[in-house]
Amino acid sequence: NFDNSVFMDNLNSIESNRAEAMSNLAQDITAKRDELVNNELAQRYTYLNFLQDLQNQTNSNILNYISGSQNNSSSGNSYNANAYAANQSSSSGFGSYANLASGVLSAMGPYG
């Protein structure tokens, strides 16, 4: 009977250790899974931020190109208008006055 009691005590100790090991393993697995999920989310957010920065830079480049094109077009239009005005005024008797007025209006800009 004594041998039976020692065996049962040892069996209970083994079962207790097994249950504790299983609990620790489950907690470790859960913690590792949470760590991996958080790491994956952080990497996704980093990638999304990269894509957003890339899109913002592309849009900025497009707007800068459009602005440069508008400035170039405005400069060309101003040159053509001045050349046309100078050509028209040189054929009339008021050439110098027309050139002066055209220069003043050009200096005032499109809203002057």
| pLDDT tens per residue across span 94-106 | 556 666 667 667 7
Bigger pLDDT: 90 vs 29: 29
The answer to whether residue 93 scores a pLDDT higher than 60 is no
Q: What is the pTM of this model?
A: 0.52
Across 74-93, average pLDDT: 80
How many CA atoms are closer than 13 Å to the CA of 112, on its beta-carbon side? 10
Residue 28 is predicted with a pLDDT of 97
**How much of the chain, in percent, has pLDDT values that exceed 90?**
47
Measured CA to CA, the distance from residue 15 to residue 109 in angstroms comes to 92
Token code pair at residue 79: 């040159």
Residue written as tokens 């001045």? 82
Please name the helix (run of DSSP H) or strand (run of DSSP E) that holds residue 10, with its range, or none: helix 2-90
User: How wide is the angle at C-alpha 29 spanned by C-alphas 26 and 30, nearest 5°?
Assistant: 85
The answer to whether residue 38 scores a pLDDT higher than 90 is yes
**Confidence tier at 91 by pLDDT (50, 70, 90):** low
